């Protein structure tokens, strides 16, 4: 046995060591970064993931507080249209990993899903935390090393990553880097847009970060609107912008203007109208279930000694914040003309003058332009550096579209890294 052991030892000393696996750094621990880490670890690549916050997935968890809307079940053409002018760039990502593939991936984690009445897809328990826990366990089991409280600062003179850590600044040499740093909203959760400067300094084409899925301000509400109706929901209304078909839904009056799901769905065209013209006028249909002629007929009925407020309530069920808005935005003489008042109820103009601050927005538009990357999502100016997630220049409404594209772009960028590493030598 002793002789055999010596022979074995001698033989092993003559064998070359197996090549070390490539080493990739992922910057950002949201859905895009974590999905990229999964793809890379499955390819046998050494992955270190760095995140500036005390734990990963913080925005993902907060987005799921009211019910984790993971994706949407609508047909692909309608789904793709939600990405507006960036649909051509998002299309290949979704073809590779769209809503159905995302749902199957979630099921493989042991999390079941269901489709809600609106077509949105949720985990059965409506929570993000169980999904994230199962996912992180799978990543760690696959060898992914996660470093929290580690903030990326850019590159040093040698091209190594500069990482600010609790132990001081580190300089990390890797074979490739994947940036998934989020957009510019909710900075308290890590998405502060600080990555824009080091990329700009390297000549990467960037579009300015702007609020998306955000609220808007009016020039000024009356004191009554602010004191009595700020925070009041506007339910069962429709909102139209320009000549587009009005959308049904609900929103909320705020002390400075208006916000909520219906406004978020229109936030991109409203914002662009403000950018181009200084303001945007939306039209509120306060009674979308009633045609204008029926409203006019109801208003034309004698009201006797009743006040106009009581007349609106008794004939049309119009009261509370809707009646207050009608008073706020309609000339006084309209209330003596049933035809004019009926038209106002069906298309009440509300002028919006600016977005709420970027940090309040649910998401952001702008970021790394697709024209700055190749089809693998690698930066043309920086070979070996890839980008994914909300830091790319695209936007989409809430309803699962944001998360789906984040997952899909993370997977695409991860596959891009694998392909590039195979051919770089």
- The single-letter DSSP state of residue 392 is B
Which is the CATH superfamily of the domain at 23-212+361-423?
FAD/NAD(P)-binding domain (3.50.50.60)
Closest listed residue to residue 351, CA positions, set 287, 292, 278: 278
For residue 204, what are its two tokens? 């990467």
Are the C-beta atoms of 367 and 206 separated by less than 8 Å? Answer: yes
Are the C-beta atoms of 287 and 345 separated by less than 8 Å? Answer: yes
* Every domain of the chain and the residues it spans: 23-212+361-423, 216-355
pTM of the predicted model as reported, rounded to 2 decimal places: 0.90
Q: How far, CA to CA in Å, does 159 sit from each of 34, 58, 162, 303?
A: 24, 29, 9, 78
For residue 292, what are its two tokens? 């204008």
For residue 232, what are its two tokens? 């009041």
Per-residue pLDDT of the chain (425 residues; tens, 9 = 90+): 333 344 444 444 556 667 789 999 999 999 999 999 999 999 999 999 999 999 999 988 887 677 789 999 999 999 999 999 999 999 999 999 999 999 999 999 999 999 998 899 999 998 999 999 999 999 999 999 999 999 999 999 999 999 999 999 999 999 999 999 999 988 888 889 999 999 999 999 999 999 999 999 999 999 999 999 999 999 999 999 988 889 999 999 999 999 999 999 999 999 999 999 999 999 999 999 999 999 999 999 988 888 889 999 999 999 999 999 999 999 999 999 999 999 999 999 999 999 999 999 999 999 999 999 999 999 999 999 999 999 999 999 989 999 999 999 999 999 999 999 998 86
Are the C-beta atoms of 291 and 342 separated by less than 8 Å? Answer: no
Are the C-beta atoms of 163 and 152 separated by less than 8 Å? Answer: yes
**How far is residue 183's CA from residue 194's CA, in Å, rounded to a whole number?**
9
């Amino acid at each position: 046995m002793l002789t055999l052991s010596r022979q074995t030892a001698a033989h092993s000393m003559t064998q070359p060591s197996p090549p070390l696996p490539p080493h990739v750094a992922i910057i950002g621990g949201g859905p895009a970064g974590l999905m990229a880490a999964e793809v890379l670890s499955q390819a046998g690549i050494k992955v270190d993931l760095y995140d500036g916050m005390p734990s990963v997935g913080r925005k993902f968890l907060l987005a799921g507080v009211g019910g984790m809307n993971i994706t949407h079940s609508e047909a692909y053409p309608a789904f793709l249209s939600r990405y507006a002018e960036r649909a051509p760039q998002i299309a290949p990502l979704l073809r590779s990993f769209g809503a159905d593939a995302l749902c199957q991936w979630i099921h493989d984690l042991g999390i079941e899903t269901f489709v809600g009445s609106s077509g949105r897809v949720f985990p059965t328990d409506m929570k993000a935390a169980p999904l994230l826990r199962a996912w992180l366990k799978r990543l760690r089991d696959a060898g992914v090393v996660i470093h929290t409280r580690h903030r990326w600062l850019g590159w040093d003179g040698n091209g190594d990553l500069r990482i600010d850590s609790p132990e001081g600044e580190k300089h990390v040499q890797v074979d490739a880097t994947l940036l998934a740093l989020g957009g510019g909203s909710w900075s308290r959760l890590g998405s502060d847009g600080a990555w824009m400067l080091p990329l700009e300094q390297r000549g990467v084409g960037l579009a300015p970060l702007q609020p998306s899925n955000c609220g808007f301000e009016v020039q000024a509400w009356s004191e009554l609107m602010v004191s009595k109706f700020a925070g009041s929901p506007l339910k069962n209304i429709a909102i139209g912008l320009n000549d587009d078909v009005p959308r049904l839904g609900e929103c909320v009056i705020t002390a400075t203007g208006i916000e909520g799901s219906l406004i978020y769905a229109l936030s991109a065209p409203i914002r662009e109208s403000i950018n181009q013209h200084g303001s945007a006028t939306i039209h509120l249909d306060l009674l979308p279930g009633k045609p204008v002629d029926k409203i006019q007929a109801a208003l034309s009925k004698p009201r006797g000694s009743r006040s106009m407020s009581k007349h609106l309530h008794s004939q049309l069920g119009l009261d509370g914040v809707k009646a207050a808005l009608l008073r706020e935005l309609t000339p006084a003489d309209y209330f003596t003309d049933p035809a004019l008042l009926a038209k106002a109820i069906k298309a009440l103009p509300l002028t919006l003058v600016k977005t709420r601050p970027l940090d309040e927005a649910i998401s952001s538009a702008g970021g790394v332009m697709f024209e700055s990357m190749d089809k693998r999502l690698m930066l043309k100016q920086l070979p070996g550096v890839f980008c994914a997630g909300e830091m790319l220049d695209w936007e989409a409404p809430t309803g699962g579209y944001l998360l789906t594209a984040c997952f899909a772009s993370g997977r695409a960028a991860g596959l891009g890294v694998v392909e590039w590493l195979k051919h770089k030598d």
